[in-house]
Amino acid sequence: MKTIGIIGGGQLGLMIAEQARELGVRTVCLDPAADAPAFNVCDDHIVAAYDDAAALEELCRRSDAVTYEFENVPGDILIPLCGKYNIPQGYKPLYDSQDRLREKSNARDHGLRTPGFEAVDDEASLREAVRRLGLPAVLKTRTLGYDGHGQRVLKTEADIAGALPLLAVPCILEEFVPFDSEASIVMVADGERVVSFPVGRNVHRDGILDLCIVPAEVDSGVLARMKAQSERFMRDCGYRGILAIEYFIKGGEIYFNEMAPRPHNSGHYTIEGATTNQFRELVRYLVGEPLQEPQPVAPTVMKNILGQDLEAAERIAAENLPGVYVHLYGKTESRPKRKMGHITFVGMDAARFEAEWAGRFVK
């Protein structure tokens, strides 16, 4: 029986481990938290920091293949491990996604349209970037930002002063795109073929994904272009394993926003809403099994469950309704805006969700 090592024991590691178990694959997981959700499902685990070189080496020794569910693994530790152990995705997609300037430059260099952007290191370079890109614009830290953290929208010159504390670390200023909608695509590649999941339209609240609606209510020609250019990008970059890309859509234009070389929150709907799911195909890739091309099962809405929604989700789970799949991650501490689970509504569209379900959650 093969064993997959997972760096990171959050909900993504949990769902990787669940799918691995269904495919007869063992998992061992590393996470600094002794109560990490994935530990409840993995066959073995290691409690250690992500930058603990000895612990990471031990994880690799116990595994036939290693993946990561957390993209802020320090590169100076992971790079040498890629040379000694089987880390099939390699380091490159992780490296390319860890710095927003590098990420945007790489996307542009490989033919994807991006918002205008400039590197920013101090007030003078920020003001020059504002002059070049115009306002409104978005100032973001180049590393470690997620779920709306580490960024600030600049609407007028007066907003610059309030944004200066962000410049304690290197930043990037991006042109603000007045998008019609946001969408994402999840792909898995094995070097011979790329399989991609149906594109979802994403609705964010306070910088955190709230809903993913599948199929995305976007012009079919735009969706076809998004699929084709994303798959081409993955091939051209030589990426293998899993990759999610988020886009802004404005009219017929598609703008690359960011990417993640791991399972993606917007892809959770695939567990019940598609014929195979993002976690299962990642496991297939890691153990060398042929990939399966996913197909949609039915229109689907995925609702993220944050701390403030947990009680509502528990009540819905107790109702045990057909087509309503409640996933709670088993985190021991619930906090507002912390991802505690998700609910997948299969056979649901956005209008029906708004009419029948939206009122049950915190606004």
Q: Is 319 known as a binding-site position?
A: no
Q: Is 24 known as a binding-site position?
A: no
Evaluate whether 65 touches 88 at the Cβ level (below 8 Å): yes
Q: Is 108 known as a binding-site position?
A: no
Q: Is 264 known as a binding-site position?
A: no
Both tokens of 88, joined, read 């099939």
Q: Is 148 known as a binding-site position?
A: yes
Report residue 121: phi and psi, to 5°: -125, -20
In angstroms, the CA 242 to CA 186 distance is 7
Q: Is 176 known as a binding-site position?
A: yes
| Burial zone of 30 (CB within 10 Å; 0-12 exposed, 13-18 middle, 19+ buried) | buried
Q: Is 22 known as a binding-site position?
A: no
Q: Is 123 known as a binding-site position?
A: no
Q: Is 118 known as a binding-site position?
A: no
Alpha helices in the chain (DSSP H): 11-22, 53-61, 75-84, 92-97, 100-109, 123-133, 159-163, 220-237, 270-273, 278-287, 310-319, 350-356
Q: Is 267 known as a binding-site position?
A: no
Both tokens of 268, joined, read 């959770």
Q: Is 147 known as a binding-site position?
A: yes
Q: Is 219 known as a binding-site position?
A: no
Q: Dihedral (C-alpha) 68, 71, 75, 78: value to the nearest 10 degrees?
A: 0
Q: Is 146 known as a binding-site position?
A: yes
Q: Residues annotated as binding site? A: 100, 140, 145-151, 174-177, 182, 204, 257-258
Q: Residues annotated as binding site for ATP? A: 100, 140, 145-151, 174-177, 182, 204, 257-258
